[in-house]
Amino acid sequence: MVSRSPSMRAGSVSATLASHRLGVAPVVLFVLSAATPLTVVAGVMPTGIGVTGLTGLPIAFAAIGVVLLPFAVGFTTMARHIVNAGAFYTYIARGLGRIPGVGAAWLALLAYNALQVGLYGAFGAQVAALYMLWFGHTVPWWLPATAAVLLVAALGLRSVGDNGRVLAVLLIAEVTIIVVLSAANLTHPAPGPILAPISPTNLLDPNAGALLSMGVLGYVGFEQAVVFAEEVRDPLRTVPRATYAAVAVIAALYILASWGLIAGVGADRIVPQAAAQGPELLFGLAAQHLGPVAVAVTRALMVTSLFAAQVSFHNVVARYAFALGREGVLPRALGRTSHRTGAPRNGSLLQTAIAAGVLLIYGIGGWDPMVHLFFWAGTTGAVGVLLLMATTAIAVIVFFARDRHGETLWRRAIAPALAAIALTGICALALTNLPTLLGVAPGSTVTRLVPVIFLTTAVLGALWALLLKATNPTVYHGIGYGARTALLLPNQGRFTTPAVR
Amino acid sequence: MSGDRLRPQALADEFFLTAHDPVGAPLLPGRVLGIGLASALLGELLLAGHLGLSGGVLAVLDERVPRDSLARSVIERLRAEPYHRQVRDWIAFLATSGRQAVGGRLAGAGLVRRRELRRRWRRPVVRWEPAGAAVAAEPGSRIHDALLVRSAVIGEQDVVFAGLVVATGLDQRVLWSLHADQRVFLRRRLDRLPGPLGELVATCETAVGEAVLSHRT
């Protein structure tokens, strides 16, 4: 056997590294496929219209999209100067301080978990409906939901949710159906005020906060593009461009889809029909305009869409817990990987346990899976993300106020300020309109519970940070550095010059 | 060589052997394996005094040429790219061809054999079969046994090896039966590593963590 002298692959370091890095397109594709459009179009939209009684969704999506663009400018600019940029709490920790940072981290865990667990309600309900349709038997919603939890758990432990090709195919299929159906709806609208849903006066409605909260729900996930900050060929431009592209595509798609849905049924009729039928409303329109094959495909795609969303959010939560475990803010066991797959194993198991616990409670409680689990948990999670985004925008301004880091005035001050003002206003509206959003009477237990839970979670997080400051200054020092903490820790005086930004 | 359990081989060789199972399949996912091997290759040069590392920057310390051809090619590449000295970049770069390069070195020494398995419908996989079961298990069991008896002398290279094993998650396979106090002992030895070596282990751990967070393991 001829032994070849082993050598490094020919080619410069830069060229080799660049060939392994990503361009704009794969990043945008990842973000959009994590957005799972059919979940929003067939799930959130009809349920939301039925629960809130509002038909201004298209303009809400437009408004949120407009607000998120300057927000994206601000936080992608700050992302150039920090590590662990994929999580909002990092910006808050580096901008406003470690104590609010940990409060934000706990709030984020609550919000993203709520978003993830809520999906099991819709999944269970949809699979049960399909089962009834195809086999004529009832099956309780929590049975397919539990199966989904187990399957997501298995995939999460193998880090399989990152399979770009499968997600991309699903994305293209979902987008195609949505675009075709929306076009059909808009070209053959039901009689009724067709322009009402896109009228900006919807935003002057006292219940605009509920509309805007639902709007945010459509965009959650767009912030994940920064996760690839270290993996892209052109860090300065690729990440911002991918984020703007994601926001623009999501905006266009959901404005079209929600307008189409409302126009297809009729703005004056849709509320009671949506309340009664939920996702069936969309399938009915598909049957009307596209035929039975399209309906069957759409039903199947909705189930896969929900599943893909579950996996996607599961991965977000698992990695959040992983980063916090690496920092030592949460137990270090969460920062361990599975050696065979590289998955954040304990973070994944934690999220599975949370989901299982919530399903158990809802199963025993006998509440409605679409409204009380999917919609309530989803919109509550969206409001949590809204709070995080508003705080992040402020954190960006403060971060650059301390040190310009060579960024332009627009990027470091004006854009984030516009976003901060708008997002804070939307937060206030969202919180005051919680009763409308959840479809309950004002002053009911649920509407008082939600802000209390948010506040308590954030305060507990802040108190935890104070405790860390007193008992474990090394860990306290590393808050907000994610996986980079190992290099930052003053290990007996070494590494005190941080090799980090 | 395979009978001498007391003297370690090259760091990257030992990591490679530990990171593959008896049929030569990797025990770590691709990128993590690459990061571990890259860190081990740089570790060899740090241990031999050819390189220095501080604040994330590598430095070529002397004009000596390593005898080993793989180590020599790494140093030559470093010398050829004086503007690229960030250790993170070098770990990323070396990770891309690490398995092939270190596997080739071991094959040249007769310790592994490269096998390409063709599978239907999928890309062929490369297996690096160890020459014997004892060959593969050696480094891990040597460290493991040394840690069981805390008074045993563990050399610096072995501590670095253990650090890389922990950083890549391979300890779940190799050091899984350690008790808590033995892990604490290992942690203390790792903390006492001199600056450059300690920073190398920490950089490896960071690189693995960031690969997880960016979904590219």
Task: Say if residue B210 is exposed, middle or buried (CB neighbours under 10 Å; 0-12, 13-18, 19+).
Answer: buried
For chain A, give the percent of residues with pLDDT over 90: 64
User: Does pLDDT of B117 surpass 90?
Assistant: no
Which chain B residues have a beta carbon less than 8 Å from that of A483? 205-206, 208-210, 212-213
pLDDT at A5: 37
pLDDT at B186: 86
Could you report the per-residue pLDDT of A355-372, keeping only the tens digit for each? 999 999 999 999 999 999
- Nearest one of A275, A271, A253 to A178, comparing CA atoms: A253
**Preferred mutation among A22, A157, A327, A339 to probe B, highest tally of B CBs within 10 A:** A339
In degrees and rounded to multiples of 5, residue B114 shows phi and psi of -80, 130
Task: Say if residue A32 is exposed, middle or buried (CB neighbours under 10 Å; 0-12, 13-18, 19+).
Answer: buried
Which B-chain residues 16-75 have CB contacts (< 8 A) with chain A? Answer: 27-29, 31-32, 55-57, 69-70, 73-74
Place of tokens 């030592």: A328
Which chain B residues have a beta carbon less than 8 Å from that of A494? 195, 198-199
pLDDT at A303: 94
Binary contact (B217, A326; C-beta < 8 A) = no
CB B91 within 8 A of CB B204: yes
Task: Tell me the HSE value of A348 on the side-chain side, using a 13 A CA sphere.
Answer: 27
- A499 vs B55, B103, B210: nearest CB: B55
Binary contact (B198, A491; C-beta < 8 A) = yes
Could you report the per-residue pLDDT of A240-293, keeping only the tens digit for each? 999 999 999 999 999 999 999 999 988 888 999 999 998 999 999 999 888 899
Residue B187 touches chain A, beta carbons under 8 Å: no
User: Does pLDDT of A10 surpass 60?
Assistant: no
Which chain B residues have a beta carbon less than 8 Å from that of A79? none
Average of pLDDT values for A202-231? 89
Of A8-17, A122-131, A289-298, A316-325, which range is least confident?
A8-17
Place of tokens 């509206």: A429
Place of tokens 């290099």: A487
How confident is residue B8, by pLDDT bands cut at 50, 70 and 90?
low
- In our burial notation (b when 16+ CB lie closer than 10 A, e otherwise), range B105-124 reads bbbbeebbeeeeeeeeeeee
What is the DSSP secondary-structure string of A52-100?
Answer: H----HHHHHHHHHHHHHHHHHHHHHHHTT-SSTTSHHHHHHHHH-HHH
Kind and range of the H or E run holding A415: helix A415-432
A259, two tokens: 């307008």
Binary contact (A482, B213; C-beta < 8 A) = yes
Average of pLDDT values for A24-38? 87
Could you report the per-residue pLDDT of A45-60, keeping only the tens digit for each? 999 999 988 889 999 9
User: Does pLDDT of A2 surpass 70?
Assistant: no
pLDDT at A409: 95
Pick the residue with more confidence: A418 or B65?
A418
How many angstroms away from the CA of B143 is the closest CA of chain A? Answer: 19
User: Does pLDDT of A195 surpass 90?
Assistant: no
Residue B211 touches chain A, beta carbons under 8 Å: yes
User: Does pLDDT of A494 surpass 90?
Assistant: no
Which chain B residues have a beta carbon less than 8 Å from that of A487? 56, 199, 202-203, 206
Of A1-5, A283-287, A403-407, B119-123, which range is least confident?
A1-5
Which chain A residues have a beta carbon less than 8 Å from that of B56? 487, 499
A194: which DSSP letter? Answer: S
Which chain B residues have a beta carbon less than 8 Å from that of A14? 84
Average of pLDDT values for B82-106? 91
Which chain A residues have a beta carbon less than 8 Å from that of B210? 230, 482-484
Number of residues assigned to chain A: 501
Could you report the per-residue pLDDT of B29-62, keeping only the tens digit for each? 999 999 999 999 999 999 999 999 998 999 998 8
Kind and range of the H or E run holding B128: strand B122-130
Pick the residue with more confidence: A318 or B129?
A318
Which chain A residues have a beta carbon less than 8 Å from that of B216? 231
- End-to-end Cα spacing for chain B: 34
pLDDT at A170: 87
When mean pLDDT is compared over A157-171, A185-199, B75-89, the highest value belongs to B75-89
Binary contact (B104, A6; C-beta < 8 A) = yes
pLDDT at A4: 36
Regarding an ipTM greater than 0.85, the answer is yes
Pick the residue with more confidence: A344 or A497?
A344
How confident is residue B21, by pLDDT bands cut at 50, 70 and 90?
confident
pLDDT at B2: 43
- A5 vs B69, B77, B199: nearest CB: B69
User: Rounded to whole angstroms, how far apart are CA atoms A59 and B44?
Assistant: 61
pLDDT at B150: 62
Binary contact (A13, B31; C-beta < 8 A) = no
CB atoms within 10 A of CB A65: 21
A109, two tokens: 């865990």
Of A152-156, A343-347, B123-127, which range is least confident?
B123-127
For chain A, give the percent of residues with pLDDT over 70: 94
Q: Which residues contact A30 (CB under 8 A, 6 or more apart)?
A: A164, A167, A224, A225, A228, B215
pLDDT at A231: 86
Pick the residue with more confidence: B1 or A447?
A447
User: Does pLDDT of A499 surpass 80?
Assistant: no
pLDDT at B175: 79
pLDDT at A8: 47
Binary contact (A227, B215; C-beta < 8 A) = yes
User: Rounded to whole angstroms, how far apart are CA atoms A255 and A200?
Assistant: 13
Pick the residue with more confidence: A145 or A446?
A145
Average of pLDDT values for B158-172? 91
Binary contact (B172, A492; C-beta < 8 A) = no
Taking the CA atoms of chain B, what radius of gyration do you get in angstroms? 17
User: Does pLDDT of A3 surpass 50?
Assistant: no
Could you report the per-residue pLDDT of A307-348, keeping only the tens digit for each? 999 998 999 999 999 999 999 999 999 999 988 888 999 999
Average of pLDDT values for A190-197? 82
pLDDT at A204: 86
pLDDT at A355: 96
Task: Say if residue A5 is exposed, middle or buried (CB neighbours under 10 Å; 0-12, 13-18, 19+).
Answer: exposed
User: Rounded to whole angstroms, how far apart are CA atoms A47 and A57?
Assistant: 12
pLDDT at A465: 96
CB atoms within 10 A of CB A361: 11
Binary contact (B73, A323; C-beta < 8 A) = no
User: Does pLDDT of A497 surpass 50?
Assistant: no
| Triad A13, A18, A20: Cα angle to 5° | 105
